[in-house]
Amino acid sequence: MATVDRYDGDNLVRGGKILGTNQAIVRLREGIDAGFVRTTTTVLRGFQRLDILAHQQYGDGRLWWVIAAASNIGWWLQAPPGTRLVVPVDLNEVEAVL
Protein backbone atom coordinates (compact mmCIF):
# COMPACT_ATOMS: atom_id res chain seq x y z
CA MET A 1 0.00 0.00 0.00
CA ALA A 2 1.38 3.41 -0.98
CA THR A 3 1.90 5.99 1.73
CA VAL A 4 -0.17 9.12 1.25
CA ASP A 5 1.08 12.30 2.87
CA ARG A 6 -1.68 14.76 3.68
CA TYR A 7 0.68 17.60 2.78
CA ASP A 8 1.44 16.35 -0.76
CA GLY A 9 -0.81 18.96 -2.38
CA ASP A 10 -0.05 21.79 0.02
CA ASN A 11 1.72 24.77 -1.52
CA LEU A 12 3.54 25.38 1.78
CA VAL A 13 5.43 22.12 1.38
CA ARG A 14 8.84 21.97 -0.23
CA GLY A 15 10.11 18.56 -1.24
CA GLY A 16 7.55 16.74 0.92
CA LYS A 17 8.69 18.64 4.01
CA ILE A 18 6.10 20.69 5.89
CA LEU A 19 7.49 24.07 6.86
CA GLY A 20 5.56 24.32 10.13
CA THR A 21 7.10 21.39 12.01
CA ASN A 22 8.92 21.57 15.35
CA GLN A 23 12.19 20.96 13.52
CA ALA A 24 11.51 23.93 11.26
CA ILE A 25 10.81 26.13 14.28
CA VAL A 26 14.14 25.21 15.89
CA ARG A 27 16.02 25.79 12.62
CA LEU A 28 14.29 29.14 12.13
CA ARG A 29 15.28 30.35 15.60
CA GLU A 30 18.86 29.15 15.05
CA GLY A 31 18.94 30.96 11.70
CA ILE A 32 17.78 34.18 13.34
CA ASP A 33 20.34 33.85 16.14
CA ALA A 34 23.13 33.21 13.62
CA GLY A 35 22.12 36.22 11.53
CA PHE A 36 21.03 34.21 8.48
CA VAL A 37 17.44 35.46 8.72
CA ARG A 38 16.91 39.21 8.88
CA THR A 39 14.09 40.38 11.13
CA THR A 40 12.21 43.45 12.19
CA THR A 41 10.34 43.96 15.43
CA THR A 42 6.92 45.33 16.17
CA VAL A 43 4.50 45.37 19.08
CA LEU A 44 1.15 43.65 18.71
CA ARG A 45 -1.68 46.13 19.07
CA GLY A 46 -5.24 45.43 20.13
CA PHE A 47 -7.31 43.56 17.54
CA GLN A 48 -4.21 42.58 15.51
CA ARG A 49 -3.73 38.90 14.72
CA LEU A 50 -0.67 36.99 13.58
CA ASP A 51 -2.44 35.55 10.55
CA ILE A 52 -3.35 39.04 9.34
CA LEU A 53 0.22 40.25 9.92
CA ALA A 54 1.54 37.21 8.03
CA HIS A 55 -0.79 38.00 5.14
CA GLN A 56 0.44 41.60 5.08
CA GLN A 57 4.11 40.58 5.30
CA TYR A 58 4.17 37.40 3.19
CA GLY A 59 0.89 37.40 1.24
CA ASP A 60 -0.31 34.26 3.04
CA GLY A 61 -1.99 34.24 6.46
CA ARG A 62 -1.21 30.53 6.91
CA LEU A 63 2.39 31.55 7.57
CA TRP A 64 1.45 33.00 10.96
CA TRP A 65 3.60 30.28 12.50
CA VAL A 66 6.76 31.92 11.07
CA ILE A 67 6.10 35.05 13.14
CA ALA A 68 5.03 32.98 16.16
CA ALA A 69 8.17 30.81 16.00
CA ALA A 70 10.49 33.79 15.56
CA SER A 71 8.76 35.56 18.45
CA ASN A 72 8.85 32.51 20.77
CA ILE A 73 5.05 32.30 20.86
CA GLY A 74 3.68 28.78 21.28
CA TRP A 75 0.34 29.47 19.58
CA TRP A 76 -1.02 32.61 18.00
CA LEU A 77 -3.87 32.80 20.50
CA GLN A 78 -1.23 33.29 23.20
CA ALA A 79 -0.27 36.67 21.76
CA PRO A 80 -2.06 39.43 23.68
CA PRO A 81 -1.76 43.11 22.79
CA GLY A 82 1.64 44.46 23.80
CA THR A 83 3.51 41.30 22.77
CA ARG A 84 6.86 42.09 21.10
CA LEU A 85 6.97 40.33 17.74
CA VAL A 86 10.05 39.32 15.79
CA VAL A 87 9.09 39.25 12.12
CA PRO A 88 11.39 37.62 9.54
CA VAL A 89 11.73 39.99 6.59
CA ASP A 90 12.32 37.56 3.72
CA LEU A 91 10.70 34.13 3.30
CA ASN A 92 13.58 33.05 1.06
CA GLU A 93 15.92 33.42 4.04
CA VAL A 94 13.47 31.44 6.20
CA GLU A 95 13.28 28.62 3.66
CA ALA A 96 17.08 28.59 3.31
CA VAL A 97 17.56 27.66 6.98
CA LEU A 98 14.86 24.99 7.05
Which tens digits make up the pLDDT trace of 12-71? 544 445 555 677 888 899 999 999 999 999 999 988 899 999 999 999 998 998 999 999
Is 46 a domain residue? yes
Structural domain of 32? 19-97
Is 79 a domain residue? yes
Is 34 a domain residue? yes
Residue among 41, 49, 96, 48 nearest 70 (CA): 41
Q: How many domains does the chain have?
A: 1
Cβ-based neighbours of 28, under 8 Å, separated by 6 or more: 37, 66, 69, 70, 88, 94, 97, 98
Is 13 a domain residue? no
pTM to 2 decimal places: 0.78
Give the CA diameter of the chain. Answer: 50
Is 12 a domain residue? no
Q: CA angle at residue 79 from 28 to 60, to 5 degrees? A: 55
Q: Is the dihedral of CA 70, 94, 12, 27 positive or negative?
A: negative
Query: Residue 17's pLDDT is what?
Result: 54
